[in-house]
Amino acid sequence: MSGSGNVAIVSGAAQGLGRAFAERLVEEGYQVLAFDTQAEVENLSGATGVVADVSRRDDVERVVAQAVEMGSIEVLVNNAGAWKKTPVDSSWEQALADWDEIMDTNLKGVLMLSRAVVPHMKVAGGHILNISTYYVLPAKSDGTNPPDTDLYGASKWSLNGFTDAWAKYLEADNIKVNGLCMGAVDTPMLRGLFPDGQLPVGLADQVMQASEIAQLMMDVMASGRTGENIGAWVGEPVRLNDQPPLHKRITG
């Protein structure tokens, strides 16, 4: 892991975790191409901000082409994600519309962006980080995989397949692929779930900070580990723990 002018791409970087990832990579000396569907991404200090939609192939190809012009692509953070409640008894029409909205961003976008980047990473190696959720790891508290977010949960469990297969396939090219799987982090998305954007007192005292997850990202890249889901849980120190045995690196 070098930084030193190499290029990092961060999707969904206008706010929250994506913004924290982009800002930290800038601090580490990367040329950061940060993109989002929200125009606020253009105001990200030190980074090149681009308005683009990860679920659109032409946008993905435009972003990667611009990154190639900036230098050698070393890091891809697949952070863009869609979340919403999707009750199992919603109408067929609503269920299919929700499927397209969530899967186009959470899965197809990850597929397209990663496949577009890999040929350029093969030159000198690199890192792909898939931003997932603690739902895919053994539960340590209530509230894991809530029943009214089946499509979001399915999309994140499906990321395991990408992380596992890509890590194995790309290891010969020195491309490391890992997932970051965290619980509640103080972000605009989390605050949007509560009235007036205020976190409940109990949660506000324990919730993780985006900067902590950004540091965890840097620690994962520095470790040289691959093919693993790295967990971070509310109420526990945010740190890179010992590597589990091979058969537990994805699902714990």
Q: Is 156 a catalytic residue?
A: yes
Domain with 107 in it: 7-248
Contact 196, 173 (CB under 8 A): no
In the set 30, 134, 156, 176, the catalytic residue is 156
In a domain, residue 136? The reply is yes
Question: Sorting pLDDT into bands at 50, 70 and 90, what band is 145?
Answer: confident
pLDDT in tens, 158-208: 999 999 999 999 999 999 999 999 998 987 777 777 777 777 777 767 789
What mean pLDDT is predicted for residues 35-45? Answer: 96
Residue 1 clears pLDDT 60, i.e. is over it: no
- Total tally of structural domains belonging to the chain: 1
Find the CATH number of the domain harbouring 67: 3.40.50.720
- Residue 209 lies inside a defined structural domain of this protein: yes
Residue 2: inside a domain = no
Q: Which residue has the tokens 């499906």?
A: 158
Asked if 252 and 244 touch (Cβ cutoff 8 Å), the reply is yes
pTM of the entire predicted model:
0.95
Supply the mean pLDDT for the chain. Answer: 94
In this predicted structure, the answer to whether residue 242 has a pLDDT above a threshold of 70 is: yes
Query: Which of 152, 168, 169, 248 is labelled catalytic?
Result: 152
| Angle formed at CA 126 by CA 125 and CA 131, multiple of 5 degrees | 155
Check residue 144 and report its DSSP letter: S
Region 52-81: mean pLDDT is 98
Residue 1 lies in a domain: no
Rounded distance between C-alpha atoms, residue 212 and residue 159, angstroms: 22
